[in-house]
């Protein structure tokens, strides 16, 4: 990765409004899908589809109402949470569903102490003037999670807005949930994770300088440091990324480099048929297939032979996967 590369042409912005603490008028009167939406998996998309359908019928905008940080991180700050998508990627994924925007509410002590009835009357109706709500069957809200889907539907009937409660969604008997996706990724089952998500799981990060060891081994890598709470299984993966509007296949190692330093976990990506300087660039890396666990070999020559074999297996996995890749714009 020595040759200079021209800067990528930015993708056109997605017409997507993001409201935090500012003027809510851009999404006032929208139909809202409410949830944490970590990963924006297929179950989440059923809730979003209900909001989109309701909004289209009423001639209204459709928006997601979501929270940051994840409520679990607020209530259990000392317990690391493997977030499937950071806030920026969650917004990109929400924008790609066709929603008009997102309302991002800070999940703090004030919100946690808000009674369910106040959340409905003061926030949903008073501040955002919602025209309808879509939620999942297990959505709870308000102080001590006292607000249930049935409670929200009752308040909707009283206050004049419809509530769509989306039933549990399963894929061939498998519950589709953020927890199920996390469990699959923690075991390296990235194909299963993609089936639950509806697209390959991907990470985004800045390419940083490493120790240049991959270059010395004949496999120059783009190194990306992931969130320390990332629970992805350490191992070798077939991956795909997009740089400057062109798609590149590759193979990546995620782990602690047991042959060398046992350092902090790092994603090291070797892109096929690519030459250029990626340092400082932010890239998406989609995980397409599992190759093998991270291993320690007896010699450097053994490592190099396995790396060559990893490349061959990754090429085969990517060929079988077709063109799978999360196509996302900027917001």
User: Hey, how many other C-beta atoms are within 10 angstroms of the C-beta on 183?
Assistant: 16
pLDDT digits over 10-46, tens only? 455 568 999 998 889 999 999 999 999 999 999 999 9
Burial 45-76 (b: 16+ CB within 10 A, else e): bbbbbbbbebbeeeebbbbbbbbbebbebbee
Residue 65: how many CA atoms within 13 Å on its side-chain side?
Answer: 28
Measured distance CA(318)–CA(191) in Å, rounded = 11
Strand blocks (E) in 59-110: 62-68, 101-106
* Residue 213 pLDDT exceeds 80: no
Q: In which residue ranges of the chain is CATH 3.40.50.620 found?
A: 17-168
The pLDDT of 232-246, averaged and rounded, is 92
Q: What is the pTM of this model?
A: 0.91
What topology does CATH give the domain 201-321?
Answer: Elongation Factor Tu (Ef-tu); domain 3 (2.40.30)
The pLDDT of 77-105, averaged and rounded, is 95
Measured distance CA(238)–CA(315) in Å, rounded = 7
Mean pLDDT of the chain: 91
pLDDT digits over 161-192, tens only? 999 999 999 998 889 999 999 999 999 999 99
Q: In which residue ranges of the chain is CATH 2.40.30.30 found?
A: 201-321
Measured distance CA(270)–CA(287) in Å, rounded = 13
Measured distance CA(100)–CA(63) in Å, rounded = 6
Measured distance CA(221)–CA(214) in Å, rounded = 6
Among 301, 225, 230, CA closest to 263: 225
Helix (H, G, I), strand (E, B) or coil at 248: strand
Q: Domain 17-168 class?
A: alpha beta
The pLDDT of 66-71, averaged and rounded, is 96
pLDDT digits over 290-330, tens only? 999 998 887 888 888 989 999 999 999 999 998 888 767 77
Give the pLDDT of residue 6: 42
The percentage of residues in the chain with a pLDDT greater than 90, rounded to a whole number, is: 77
Among 83, 67, 189, CA closest to 139: 67
* Residue 210 pLDDT exceeds 80: no
When comparing pLDDT for 246 and 49, which is higher?
49
* Residue 112 pLDDT exceeds 90: yes
User: Hey, how many other C-beta atoms are within 10 angstroms of the C-beta on 187?
Assistant: 15
Give the pLDDT of residue 301: 87
Contact yes or no for 255/267 (Cβ under 8 A): no
pLDDT digits over 265-278, tens only? 999 999 999 988 89
């Amino acid at each position: 990765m020595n040759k200079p590369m021209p800067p990528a042409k930015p993708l056109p912005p997605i017409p997507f409004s993001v409201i935090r603490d500012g003027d809510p008028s851009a999404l006032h009167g929208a139909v809202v899908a409410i949830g944490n939406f970590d990963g924006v998996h297929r179950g989440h998309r059923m809730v979003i589809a209900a909001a989109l359908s309701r909004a289209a019928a009423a001639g209204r905008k459709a928006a997601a109402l979501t929270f940051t940080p994840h409520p679990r991180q607020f209530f259990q700050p000392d317990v690391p949470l493997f977030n499937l998508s950071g806030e920026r990627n969650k917004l990109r994924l929400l924008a790609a569903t066709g929603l008009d925007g997102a309302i991002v509410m800070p999940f703090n002590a004030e919100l946690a102490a808000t009674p369910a009835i106040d959340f409905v009357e003061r926030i949903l109706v008073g501040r955002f003037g919602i025209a309808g709500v879509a939620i999942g069957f297990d959505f709870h809200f308000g102080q001590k999670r006292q607000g249930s889907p049935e409670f929200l539907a009752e308040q909707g009937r009283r206050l004049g807005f419809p509530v769509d409660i989306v039933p549990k969604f399963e894929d061939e008997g498998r519950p589709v949930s953020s927890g199920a996706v996390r469990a699959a990724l923690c075991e390296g089952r990235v194909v299963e994770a993609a089936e639950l998500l509806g697209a390959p799981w991907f990470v985004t990060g800045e390419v940083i300088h490493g120790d240049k060891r991959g270059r010395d081994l004949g496999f120059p890598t783009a190194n990306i440091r992931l969130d320390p709470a990332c629970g992805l299984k350490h191992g070798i993966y077939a991956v795909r990324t997009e740089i400057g509007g062109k798609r590149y296949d590759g193979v990546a190692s995620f782990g602690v480099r047991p042959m060398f330093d046992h350092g902090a976990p790092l994603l090291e990506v070797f892109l096929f048929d690519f030459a250029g300087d990626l340092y400082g660039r932010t890239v998406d890396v989609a995980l397409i297939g599992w190759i093998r666990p991270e291993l320690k070999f007896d010699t450097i020559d053994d490592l190099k032979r396995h790396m060559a074999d990893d490349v061959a297996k990754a090429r085969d996995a990517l060929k079988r996967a077709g063109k799978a890749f999360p196509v996302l714009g900027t917001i």
